[in-house]
Structure 1
Amino acid sequence: MRRPLLLLAVLVLTATGLVAPTAATTAPRAPAVATSPAPPLRYVALGDSYSAASGVLPPDPAAPLVCLRSARSYPHVLAARTGARFTDVTCGAAETGDFFESQHPGVPPQLDALSRRTDLVTMTIGGNDSGVFIGAILACGVAGVSSLGRGNPCEQQHGDSFEQTVRDTTYPSLVRALRAVHRRAPSARVAILGYPWIVPRRDGCFAQMPIARGDVPYLRSLQRTLNDAVRRAARATGSTYVDLNRASDGHDACQPIGTRWVEPILLGTNPVVVHPNARGERAMARQVVRRLRLR
């Protein structure tokens, strides 16, 4: 009687799921399928000196000397973090026109680096167009020295001419350049960065940035207008805008070493003044990673 009862108990428990089936009744496992890793991103970096990190050491040994390209630029940081197959054609002082034409002898147009196989494109561009952005900083610096830092001599001399040039000339040039990028690299994600703040909201630091106190808000407004032109051009062309306004606030050229992302005209650590330092370039790379959700 015990053996039939035991067999009956096992059958009941098995049917109710309280006893696991034996190995003989277990379904065979499917063999593991090996998966190949995803191919690396084909990444092309375009743009001006903010993309090239001009003045940040060490220089990129593969770059033309005239481009002042650094091995610690935000594109280099991005490429290292993502393991991308990386092409860098950034060049100091580049304008949107240098996307289409050679900037220097032996330096091809930047658009030549793109192809239908490109996966990712980044850039900062527009600040040198018409000499507006950097030209305004230099003009305001001269005016600030002449007034010994008092008043707003630069605004009095130039009024809204700089901002009007950004709206009327720089903006359409940005749209043209971005559309050309999309035509050359139709499958790529295209990201264009704004420029990190160069001066604080008010007061300034006349010893390091020779801008008259009243012209600090004037230059801040000009940069806001430039970044807004970049943002609008990105939206008009289906590109991604990487906003640095909030992230870079409090990291302008008037801040101490270790806090600032941009070096001042005097007493800075970068031989190319009013440009991002290595800390600023790393911060720009972080914003691209977050905005594009790159791994």
Structure 2
Amino acid sequence: MRRLPIMLAAVAGIVLATVPAHADPGIGRYVALGDSYAAVGDLLDQYGTPGCFRSRKNVANYVAAELRPAEFVDMTCGDATTANMTVAQSVTLAVNPPQFDAVTPDTDLITISIGGNDLNLPNTFGPCGALAVTDLDGNPCERYYTAGGVDRLGDRLENEIRPRIAAVLRALRDRAPAARIVMVNYASPLPESGSCYPAASFVRGDVPYLHGVVARFAAVQLEEARWIGAIGVDVFGVPGHDMCQPVGPRWIEPLVPAAATTPFHPNSTATAAIARLVTAALNSN
């Protein structure tokens, strides 16, 4: 079936798309929320709040193109934290409104990816590259974060990040009681083992630990989604697309990206594939 082009209007950082002629009668208002993993896709095709790096080829836009809701509001923004669901976010030359501002009681569908900036993955993994030069054959990053017998990253995930994600999802359910909420976790940036050099400056011995940290984070996202009756889409569980893979199968771009996205973030191949996972999950729930 031929689809009409989406008509866009940007107002105060909120981008509303309406497709009245062929809209799915089951989906009235669709709101997309989240951070850079939700916002990016192809940075040569950005729109909305300047500095959010919101792409017309992000996951939500592909989902909207497939499902054709009557209204589509994309609030996603790079660097967003769980706090920015209810607090405005200052970005380059603009301010992205609180993302929950777009969530109304009659919202039918919500997709969300959030929590990575609360964990601050770039700064968290930053010391791992520096430590690599001190121990090329060992696991210096793992030893750094587990010194004293306590896994500090695991502790943060359980005692700091999990409660924040849980609070966001509970508040989201309160705002839109009848909405289908879809939590999309993060694609795996690293393989389970092996060397990822030069895509990322981690030594071989630290790759399993770092992969495991993101695995635990991805599991937390889905576990908290289930508590509020949301749909979980396990992107992390799809193997073979990490940044150590060659161009083509690769979903996450390395330090020097080959696609028009930021390092360690999804490319448009990924966002299109993730959108298919989302629509498949919606069709089966």
Q: TM-score, normalised by structure 1?
A: 0.81
In structure 1, the partner of 2:74 is 88
Give the equivalent residue in structure 1 for 2:112: 123
| Distance apart, 1:273 and its partner CA | 0.5
- 2:199 is the alignment partner of 1:208: yes
Letter in 1 for 2:103: L
The answer on 1:134 being equivalent to 2:96 is no
8 Å contact from structure 2 (residues 54, 78) kept in 1: yes
The answer as to 2:264 corresponding to 1:274 is yes
- What is the rounded CA distance, in whole Å, between the counterparts of 1:37 and 1:214 in structure 2? 50
Structure 1 residues 179, 210: CA separation in 2 closer, same or farther (over 3 Å shift)? same
Q: How far is 1:235 from its partner? A: 1.5
1:25 maps to: none
Kindly name which structure, 1 or 2, has the bigger radius of gyration based on alpha carbons: 1
Contact map agreement 1:150 1:212 (CA 8 A) in 2: yes
CA separation in 1, counterparts of 2:257 and 2:82? 31
Which runs of structure 1 show a deviation greater than 4 angstroms over 4 or more consecutive aligned residues? none
Q: Is residue 51 of structure 2 the alignment partner of residue 60 of structure 1?
A: no
Q: Contact (CA 8 Å) 1:149, 1:210: kept in 2 or not?
A: no
Residue matched to 1:50? 37
Partners of 1:117 and 1:98 in 2: how far apart? 22
| 1:98 alignment counterpart | 84
2:79 partner SS: coil
Q: How many residues align?
A: 255
Does residue 158 of the first structure (1) align with residue 145 of the second (2)? yes
* Residues 97, 190 of structure 1: alpha-carbon distance in 2 compared, 3 angstrom cutoff: same
Deviation at 1:184, TM superposition (A): 1.3
Equivalent pair of 2:43/2:261 in contact (CA under 8 Å):
no
Residue matched to 1:69: 54
Aligned to 2:13: none
Q: Can you give the 5+ residue segments of structure 2 that lack an aligned partner in the other structure?
A: 1-22
Shift of residue 114, structure 1, vs aligned partner: 0.5
> Counterparts of 1:234 and 1:51 in 2: how far apart (Å)?
16
Q: CA deviation at 1:195?
A: 0.8
Give deviations 1:260-285, integer Å, cap 9, x for gaps: 11001135434511000001111110
Does residue 229 in structure 1 map to residue 220 in structure 2?
A: yes
* Secondary structure in structure 2 of the residue aligned to 1:147: coil
CA RMSD of the aligned region, Å?
A: 2.0
- Asked if the contact 1:59–1:68 (Cα under 8 Å) also holds between the matched residues in 2, the reply is no
The 5-angstrom pairing of residues 246-261 of structure 1 reads: 246-247=237-238, 249-261=239-251
Q: Aligned with 1:140: secondary structure?
A: helix
Shift of 1:77: 0.2
Segments of structure 1 that go 5 or more residues without pairing to the other structure are: 1-35
CA separation in 2, counterparts of 1:238 and 1:37? Answer: 23
Residue 284 (str. 1) matches residue 270 (str. 2)? no
Q: How far 1:204 moved relative to its partner?
A: 2.6
Deviations 1:168-220 (A, max 9, x none): 11101001000111111112100111111110011132111111111100111
Q: Percent identity?
A: 35
Tell me, in whole angstroms, the C-alpha distance in 1 between the residues paired with 2:26 and 2:226.
29
Q: Does 1:176 align with 2:162?
A: no
Structure number with higher helix proportion: 1
> Contact 2:196–2:244 at 8 Å: present in 1 too?
yes
CA contact (8 A) 2:30 2:72 kept: yes
Which residue of 2 is the match for residue 112 of structure 1? 101
Superposed displacement of residue 40, structure 1? 4.5
